[in-house]
Structure 1
Amino acid sequence: MRRLERLFVALNGAVVIAMLSSMALIVGANVALRYTTNHSLPWADEAARYLMIWMTFVGAGLALRWGGHVAITNLHDVLSTRSQQILRVVIVLILLIFFAFMVHVGLQYMDRARFQKTPAMRLSFLYVYAAMPVGFSLLIVHLLLIVGPFIRAGQYKQEEGDVNAISGAANG
């Protein structure tokens, strides 16, 4: 199971890196063409924008896994150990409900936008809006994979198996 999890995380990270690399290449090529030939790629800005949207949603699960999202720990820090665990259970349940709701909303957006086309690339907006349910589904998977250590000890998993305390991840 740990091997499958490491493969999942590595694949997720590789997809984010590929999107960032593609975005940088497209924007770089467009800038180079603009200054060397006085012409630019009409679809470059649009492609970079949609890659950034996809990269944000696909990468959000990785940020969650490593405690990279903003955290306010004032209440958590003043509670007893048992109360902290209860608070973390409540937080996980709220997050799971919210993520599932956002998958549902994302699917609705996809359905509504499927007949609209992007201006330059003429892609269906379905593909742009698909980032939302895909990203929130990945958030659910990542949350479920780290839920045990998070609830027990307030820790996030690291790729190498290292673990950072919630306060260390939030403060440093």
Structure 2
Amino acid sequence: MRSWAVTASAKLNTVVEAIAAGLMLALVLDVWLGVVDRYYFHWQLPWPEALARYLMIWAAMLAVSSGVARRNHIGLTSFIMVLPYRLRRAALICMDVLTLALFLYVAWFGVGFAFGGATRHAMIFGASLAPFYAAIPVAAALSSIQLVLVLLRDLGTHIDDPPFEVPQEEAT
């Protein structure tokens, strides 16, 4: 089960990171289009600023699940490190379960938030805001899945004994 969790987490993270990278590329191109429009061509395009905002929201929200997969999120370990190993491991598993509950809560209520955006429209695009608001429940659901996978992968050992090794190319 642990090796399956490692593989599934890595594959899901690869897809999410590729999507986030594509969104960031689109964001950079959109911002450059806005700069070129404003200072050189004076087309007075109304949408680059709004599109940049929504691209940034999606990219940032998707990056949360990547941080969960890599365990690169912020963590305060001062209290945890003074606990005995077995208690430390139990505390880390409990924190993962509580974090999972938070992500599931956000995903559940985020669906209603996204559907609420269906009745609102972006003035510039003339489109529903539901696809933009959907970043919240989608990111929370992906983070929930990743958290279950890394919980199975690490089982509370990620501070003391990282279960995966950094490839030689990344270490240098």
TM-score category of the 2 structures, normalised to the smaller one? 0.7 to 0.9
- The correspondence of residues 15-164 of structure 1 with structure 2, limited to 5 A, is 15-155=19-159, 161-162=164-165
C-alpha RMSD over aligned residues: 2.0
CA contact (8 A) 1:149 1:157 kept: no
Query: SS state of the match for residue 153, structure 1?
Result: coil
Cα deviation, residue 3, structure 1: 4.8
Unaligned runs of 5+ in 2: 167-172
Distance 1:8 1:65 in 2: 9
Distance 1:76 1:85 in 2: 9
Q: Give the letter aligned to residue 29 of structure 1.
A: L
With over 3 angstroms needed to count, the CA separation of the structure-2 counterparts of 1:106 and 1:157, relative to structure 1, is farther
TM-score of the superposition, structure 2-length normalised?
0.85
Distance 1:117 1:30 in 2: 22
* % identical aligned pairs: 21
Distance 2:49 2:162 in 1: 36
Query: SS state of the match for residue 71, structure 1?
Result: coil
| Cα shift readout 1:136-157 (whole Å, capped 9, x = no counterpart) | 0110111111113433412597
Query: SS state of the match for residue 155, structure 2?
Result: helix
Query: SS state of the match for residue 119, structure 2?
Result: coil
Cα deviation, residue 53, structure 1: 0.7
Unaligned runs of 5+ in 1: 164-172
Query: SS state of the match for residue 114, structure 1?
Result: helix
With over 3 angstroms needed to count, the CA separation of the structure-2 counterparts of 1:4 and 1:80, relative to structure 1, is closer
Deviates more, 1:90-99 or 1:142-151: 142-151
Cα deviation, residue 122, structure 1: 1.6
Distance 1:119 1:162 in 2: 49
- The number of equivalent residue pairs is 161
With over 3 angstroms needed to count, the CA separation of the structure-2 counterparts of 1:3 and 1:98, relative to structure 1, is closer
Cα deviation, residue 4, structure 1: 4.6
Distance 2:95 2:9 in 1: 23
